[in-house]
Amino acid sequence: MTECSRLHAIGFACELTRATAEFIARIAKDDSKRIRCRTGEYRVWQLPRGAEIWLHYPWPVGCLRPANDQHPFDPISDLKGLSAFHSGASSIEMLLERSVVASASNRLDGVCCASLPAIQGRGRAVPFTFEQIGFAIDPVEQPVRARVQISGLAHKVWAYESEKAYLAASPSRRLVGRGAMLPVEPDEIKDVRLLYRGHPETLWLVTGKVRRATRMVSAEVGTAYAWMLLETDRGDIDIIANPDVLFGNVAMGHTVVAVVSMTGRILERLGPQ
């Protein structure tokens, strides 16, 4: 799989077809959605209903280009990565601890190490890692409390009419109460075909109650994808899924369990730890 296969989650072909390559080239050439930073630039595509694709064009290591530099680049061969995201309705308060570059060859790609607070003052905080959208624009260099918009790109989603039905139907290794969020490793979910290459530390198993759900359509290629707002014990998260990975009826009030790769955007910094 290539990095471009992340497009599968928001209604684009899973492989880098000619049509997908042409779409990427159009994004890359749109200067109105060009975000420069110290280590490179992002080219961003956004739909009014929330879908986003961030293309990564990092400068070569050791190279810092001036703001007025018009150095040409090839939209495909110079593309070093991409991030898929959905700007939805989630907003979770957490402690951000630090941002970490995910790849030495792409300093625009990184993860944020954070922790989710204890539930209603009991228990312990939970370590939480997500792919940080716009990582190079707003890195976390010291612990800070923040509100974060979290979007889970789904590899597989199971939906049940009730929590009772979920508990009765689920294999024992997925027998976690509704509302739980658990980190998993790929070898723990061998029956789930991972749709795209993500950051292993951002892979999670989540359960919860569907608060809202709707079918969306990618205007570029006319294919559909599903969006849902899932209520968990740690807050509401957005989940994006291609219809091919949905099993059961995703409807308001139903119980969902999903394997997702977590992505997030910092909405607001609230202050130091």
Amino acid 1: pLDDT: 29
Amino acid 93: pLDDT: 94
CB atoms within 10 A of CB 241: 25
Q: Distance between CA 5 and CA 82 in Å, rounded?
A: 9
Amino acid 126: pLDDT: 87
Q: Distance between CA 58 and CA 36 in Å, rounded?
A: 10
Amino acid 204: pLDDT: 93
CB atoms within 10 A of CB 269: 13
Low-confidence ranges of the chain (pLDDT < 50): 1-5, 11-15
What are the structural domain ranges in the chain? Answer: 3-86
Residues 51-83 have pLDDT tens digits of 888 989 888 766 666 555 556 677 878 888 888
The model carries a pTM of: 0.86
Residues 233-259 have pLDDT tens digits of 889 999 999 888 899 999 999 999 999
Amino acid 5: pLDDT: 45
Backbone angles phi, psi at 246, to 5 degrees: -95, 130
Amino acid 12: pLDDT: 44
DSSP letter for each residue of 99-126: EEEEETTEEEEEEEEEEEPPBTTBS--E
Phi-psi region of 179 (alpha: psi -120 to 50; beta: other; left: phi over 0): left
User: In what order do the strands lie in the sheet containing 51-58?
Assistant: 34-37, 40-46, 51-58, 81-86
